[in-house]
A and B are shown apart, each in its own frame.
Chain A
């Protein structure tokens, strides 16, 4: 059916082009083609077969499962346990979104997006509905590729891991060093740019993330470069973790965010506000444990609004979503807990949170000087109203 649709539109274009006879001016043809192109932009589903886009929310609800593109080979963020179950930090967000949209946190179909080189194609191709795979937002990805990014779930930056006894303390010590780097990522470009800027040369060894990490730990490279969180996750699981260090130098910003297809603002909104809702829940103290009690008896109007329950004798304050019901955030919290709980459960043991970018922003600069638990970052949920 989709082929038929694509063929019809294509046929219309061709028909339009060929019916332009010689009396029509070339300009008119051009204009017509531009119109056609604009029309195609407006209806992007006509360009790409596979699954229709533009209304992924509806698609997911009709299908009854969420296709989530995740990494399956990175400790902490996305990997598989011995029963074949995919787990990790990114996976919690898939579950939260599935709980919000489908009312079932387990209605997720995890698609392997471990290979950085092919991940965006999976999204564009309709093989996945959402890409939650330690993917950095960049301007060129946003503009050139068929991907749109929702709220960042994890802030990190590109760092360098070295052996402690290597004598390397910053990138200026890395002249002609052998550097292991994952191909198809922003890290690959960042490191090339950085070494151009500081005027040094290096010898790259590139490949899949887990392969280059293994090569580094065997001593193939002097330096492993990746997102600092990635480096931490790979070092912390090792017995000889003390032999390695991550340099304090961070050469880039790497905001990792869920990716959705372009031209699908409803779906992006849902993803966006689920993430914000999980952060807001942490800000106002709603947890997986107390969410049911809070929903039964909301302490204030905001909690009631967030959880989609009436406050006192009032009506349910809808947030204006027509694609999901008012209690979508309540379900997400009930399924996976708030942002802080997810963090502590999945990566808290390995990656420090307090006073990092991934902690909540302080309520007001004057109120706190030291970072309290889970504070001192830039995590800042937008208001639900």
Chain B
């Protein structure tokens, strides 16, 4: 992070060593012999003085702020009190606000935010890559369309996009009484989109629900095996030059393994199909309009920025790469996925990471579309209990933690990408 500071120190040392043999010290801030110079003009003393003054000023400022904030009642005890409000848009959780505490409600809000952030990051990356590549398309119409998208969504406020998406969805989608059924398994209305969803069940042998966890664990193990096989086959292919069909093997192993364990464990998972009863969806998974509006808004907005990053990274590649790929007879798709994108990836990861962090922070716009994310729940708690400073502290720590996790993941990916010779 503070490369420059280190650079500066290095620079300092270099200069000192370079100037050491020179007998007459240069004016300014070169190293000066200490004996003849008054204390006040010595560099070390000056620096000490400056820092001292700076620290004193900062401390004064802090003291003033601390003093003004009047922290007599500072404490987090209020978070354990009963919440007395409900939050909507819960998924996998069912916390009623009556008996649960405020901190539980806040965690529900955090979970809601995380879902939005995760989905928006995923979708905005896909949109970004697709549009970024499309902008460089030799097809005039496609390139124009991509440019239109980028220029529109990059230059309008996210808040307006989100409320607009929400308003359009509410007006555009049919009301629940006229719900549209897609292929007999999905429903769409302005109450949301209901889709089938896997749920654990007793299965053939009447095993308890948690047994689905065993199956998931087995799946992970099989996946690991498949990946190992893939890598060894890839290595062999590289050594021998004979095609080893690494991907096919890996996929086959995984598919067969998953199927066999699924049957052996007695079909522990079934697919829940949604249906409409009265004015509500039952079973399945329901993607609520609020979640959809926020996620789509974030996706479109961030996607436009990602597209520019992808485009810039591709353009930064030497043209020789494209020409070489053409020369060895790769198709357009192969050229893109095997040559261009893997190389552009290295260039784009730092900027893309920044966009992901923005997605995290921008998810707070849920405040404007009736989605109960962490910021909104914190606002409700603050409205009921006061303690604005504590709530803000909680909010900022939460956002920073999520940012840290995203940064750490992206750093990990970055290290993989830059290490592996693509």
Interface residue ranges, A against B (CB under 8 Å):
3, 6-7, 10, 47, 49, 116-118, 121, 144-145, 166, 176-178, 183-184, 188-189, 192-193, 196, 201-207, 211-212, 214-215, 218-220, 222
Contacts and interface: CB of A to CB of B under 8 A. Distances in A.
Contact of B88 (A196, A203, A222): A203
A189 B176 contact: no
A29 to B, nearest CB: 15
B278 to A, nearest CB: 9
A196 B96 CA distance: 10
Given A176-B280, A222-B279, A206 B87 contact: yes
B9 to A, nearest CB: 40
Interface in B18-69: 64, 67-68
Contacts of B170: 214-215, 218-220
A158 B145 CA distance: 51
Contact of B171 (A10, A183, A184, A218): A218
12 contacts: A7-B68, A145-B386, A177-B279, A177-B280, A183-B85, A188-B85, A192-B84, A203-B88, A204-B88, A205-B370, A219-B191, A220-B289
Contacts of B167: 214
A206 B386 CA distance: 20
Nearest to B286: A203
Interface string B387-420: 0100000000000000000000000000000000
Contacts of A3: 68
A192 B86 contact: yes
B380 A183 contact: yes
Contact of A196 (B98, B176, B190, B279): B98
Contacts of A219: 170, 175-177, 189-191
Contacts of B175: 218-219
B67 A204 contact: no
Nearest to A140: B384
A211 B366 CA distance: 13
A121 B245 CA distance: 67
A6 B280 contact: no
A146 to B, nearest CB: 10
Contacts of B383: 116-118, 183-184
Interface string B126-162: 0000000000000000000000000000000000000
Contact of A178 (B68, B177, B279, B372): B279
B189 to A, nearest CB: 8
Given A49-B68, A207-B369, A220-B289, A166 B380 contact: no
Q: Interface centre among A49, A193, A207, by most B CB within 10 Å? A: A207
Q: Interface centre among A10, A144, A183, by most B CB within 10 Å? A: A183
B293 to A, nearest CB: 11
Q: Interface centre among B189, B380, B382, B383, by most A CB within 10 Å? A: B383
A142 to B, nearest CB: 15
B2 interface: no
A117 B280 contact: no
B370 A212 contact: yes
Contacts of A202: 86
A206 B84 contact: no
A204 B83 CA distance: 15
A83 to B, nearest CB: 24
Contacts of B368: 211
Contacts of B89: 205
B370 A215 contact: yes
B97 interface: yes
Interface of B: 64, 67-68, 70, 84-89, 96-98, 167, 170-171, 175-177, 189-191, 279-280, 289-290, 368-370, 372, 376, 379-380, 382-383, 386, 388
A203 B89 CA distance: 8
Given A117-B380, A211-B368, 15 more contacts: A10-B68, A10-B70, A117-B382, A189-B85, A204-B86, A204-B88, A205-B370, A206-B87, A206-B372, A207-B369, A207-B370, A212-B370, A215-B170, A215-B370, A222-B279
Contacts of A176: 280
A59 B274 CA distance: 62
B246 to A, nearest CB: 48
Contacts of B85: 183, 188-189, 192
Contacts of A189: 84-85
A188 B84 CA distance: 9
A219 to B, nearest CB: 4
Contacts of B97: 192
A145 B280 CA distance: 39
Nearest to A49: B68
Contact of A10 (B67, B189, B191, B380): B67
A196 to B, nearest CB: 5
A114 to B, nearest CB: 13
Contacts of B191: 178, 219-220
A200 to B, nearest CB: 11
Contacts of B177: 219
A215 B168 CA distance: 11
Nearest to B96: A201
Contacts of B369: 207, 211
Contacts of B86: 192, 202, 204, 206
A211 B167 CA distance: 10
A189 B85 CA distance: 6
Q: Interface centre among A144, A189, A206, by most B CB within 10 Å? A: A206
Contacts of A192: 84-86, 97-98
Contacts of A47: 70
Nearest to A219: B175
Given A178-B191, A189-B84, A184 B290 contact: no
Contacts of B64: 7
Contacts of A116: 383
Contacts of A212: 370
Contacts of A204: 86-88
A162 B88 CA distance: 19
A205 B112 CA distance: 14
A212 to B, nearest CB: 7
A197 B234 CA distance: 65
Contacts of B87: 204, 206
Contacts of B70: 10, 47
A307 B375 CA distance: 51
A206 B109 CA distance: 13
A41 to B, nearest CB: 12
